[in-house]
Chains A and B, each alone.
Chain A
Amino acid sequence: MLRFLKAFGLFTAAALGAAASPALAAGDLLVAPTRVILDGSRGTEVVLNNIGSEPATYRISLEIKRMTAEGGLDEIAEENVTAAERTALDMIAFSPRRVTLPPNQPQVVRVGVRLPEGTPPGEYRAHMLFRAVPDAAPATAEPKPASEGVSIALTPIYGITIPVIVRVGDLGAEASIGAAWVTETQDGPAFNFDLSRTGDRSVYGDIEVTRPGVAEPLLVARGIAVYPEVGARKVSLRVPGELAAKLKGPVRIRYSEDREIGGGTIDEAERVVQ
């Protein structure tokens, strides 16, 4: 038993060392897992780790985000949420809500569900936001004399969100792949396709684009969701120029379930990319 613990200790030390990348700032963070699905009976744990070089205080909160037809997530202010979204916010319980961590100190956040009796079947979702509370602006050495002009200090409050999904009742959904095309955006070329959804829950999975007769996939994109608030979304993935050129022509696009739950095909289609 002792050897067992010791081995873990060493493993931990090595791994934490490895996790430290060179450029570290206060507020850097790690969150795992990246998606939580609850069925209402059992809770789960999410790990938050301070991977910065300074102690930092993190705040954990829930917010509502709605998927857009463009595939983005719009943040919705609390006063504008629908009744179902309000239910989602109320049923998801978590603790702690605020924690101060020294560097490389992980913290477990417990997440549970309190299902009020008579909750209608459906998928309820909120996004759990982890973000560092910025330190009070450090007292700079000396205030600038007025003659030196205008100096600017912008402090980002940066964080990570992961979806917390609660499924009530027996739900199902299907998805189908629409047209696919390559566009030139201002930030470079992108591979796009339409993804539509029917049913009473979200779909989630991985995309693989292959050329018939070629084993190696041209493009793999993991973790693409279509949430219930939209019936269809565009998936737009930035790709390098050479890949954009290669993608044009006949391809097979496969949308498969997460590898963790078997990786079964949700939809598969042959398309000619314009």
Chain B
Amino acid sequence: MRNFGMKRALLGAAIAALAMNASAAHAASATGTATAKILRQITLTKTSDLQYATIISGATASTVAVSTAGAASCGAGLTCTGTTTAGSYDVQGTNGAVVLVGGDSSVTLNGSLGGTMSSTLTYSSANITLGATGGSFQVGGTLSVGANQAAGDYSGTFNVTANYQ
């Protein structure tokens, strides 16, 4: 809190009010100063990544699935090592608010040594109703691994959004 200008200080106050709003959902606390407007807020934080860990491909095409609960199933002919996790996101906001969640239904991964793979993506829910402690949703997927898929580090990006109506 160095030498903030007045404007910055007021903005800070607005943010402060936002942060408080999460715990004090009954927003009737109009006892503050005339400048403290309490805005409704939403926060989105990533708590874990969707991870397929490491896979050694086989002679035939196969799949690796990670459920939205994080459980992995390694397809026939593949060797899977490491810990798999589902992607997980935490949403905070007004108690009782319904937030639509979702994102891309598939993603293409490019290999560092050439080659591509694709993964379908599934979401634990299309909407969540926030409780007093917020809510969360998970992302799982099914990765298609080709026969003798080229080894390497595969990477891809996909979009996930939390939408207020």
Q: A9-B1, A149-B151, A161-B163 are in contact. List 5 more A-B contacts (CB 8 A).
A: A8-B9, A34-B94, A72-B126, A137-B155, A152-B143
A71 touches B127 (CB 8 A): yes
* Neighbouring B residues of A159 by C-beta, 8 Å: 44, 159-162
Interface residue tally on B, bucketed by range: 35 or more
* Neighbouring B residues of A131 by C-beta, 8 Å: 159, 161
A161 touches B45 (CB 8 A): no
Could you show 16 A-B contacts with beta carbons less than 8 Å apart? A12-B12, A12-B15, A12-B16, A15-B15, A15-B18, A33-B41, A34-B94, A35-B40, A70-B126, A73-B165, A149-B79, A151-B152, A155-B158, A156-B46, A156-B49, A156-B160
Q: Is B11 an interface residue (CB 8 A)?
A: yes
Give complex CA distance A24, B45 in Å: 7
B155 touches A150 (CB 8 A): no
Q: Is B31 an interface residue (CB 8 A)?
A: no
Q: Which residue of B19, B50, B96 has the most chain A CB atoms within 10 A of its CB atom?
A: B19
Q: Is A69 an interface residue (CB 8 A)?
A: no
B15 touches A16 (CB 8 A): yes
Interface residues of A (CB under 8 A from B): 4-5, 8-16, 18-19, 21, 23-25, 27-35, 47, 49, 51-52, 65, 67, 70-73, 106, 108, 127, 129, 131, 134, 137, 140, 143-144, 146-163, 187, 204, 206, 220-225, 227, 236-238
A150 with B151, Cβ < 8 A, contacts A11-B16, A16-B16, A223-B165 known: yes
* Neighbouring B residues of A29 by C-beta, 8 Å: 43-44
